[in-house]
Amino acid sequence: MRVAVLLAASSSFTLASYVSSMPKNARGLFKESMAWMDTLYDPAAGYLYETGSASALRHETRSSGWYAVGLLARNGPGDVHEADKIITNIVHGQYNKDPLQYWFAEYQQEPEEPEVGSVYYPAEIHHSFDGNWRYDMCSGVDFTQNTYLCLLAPSWQPRSSSGSRSFHTLSATKQQT
C-alpha cells in the first residue's frame, strides 16, 4: 500500500532556501554529497545502492535514510516524492512482528535480505541485524520531524498520548494507516 508521506509541492511553505542559507563551505559539501548520492539512488527501489565491493548491486537502508533527509533539505523537483518513497520503505522494513525477539524494532540492513531468525538467516547481532541501527535510523527520522515537519503529511504526524515524537510511535502509527 502506497503511503502518502509528504505534502504536495504546492505547499505555501518551502524550504528551498535552506541550502542557500548554509555557510559557503557547508553548502558546497552538501551539494557534492547529494550529487554523489544522486548517482547511487535507485528510484525504482527507493533505496541507495550499497557501495561495497561485495555488495553486488544490493541496496542499503541506513544511507538511504540519511539521503531522504538530504532530499528534504534540498527540496528540489521530485525530492519530496523520493524522500516519501525512501521513508516509507524504511518504516515497512522495520522488524515489528515479535516484541520478545532481540531484533524487534530494528531495521533491515538491506531490503534484499531474508527474514532475520529464519533458517536461512540466523539471528546474529552485528551480522544479520545491528542493535545500533534503531538509534541511527531514529535520529534521522527525529531530525526530519523536527526540521521538516511542515513537509510531512498529517498521516506521518506522530500520535501518542504524551505528545512525544518517537520513531516507534511514528512507525507504529504509519503501519496502521
Q: How many CB atoms lie within 10 A of CB 53?
A: 6
Give pLDDT, residue 40: 96
Instruction: For the chain, give every domain's residue range.
Output: 17-176
Nearest to 41 by CA among 70, 73, 1: 70
pLDDT in tens, 65-101: 999 999 988 999 999 889 989 988 988 888 888 888 8
Distance CA 88, CA 84 (A): 6
pTM of the predicted model, to two decimals?
A: 0.75
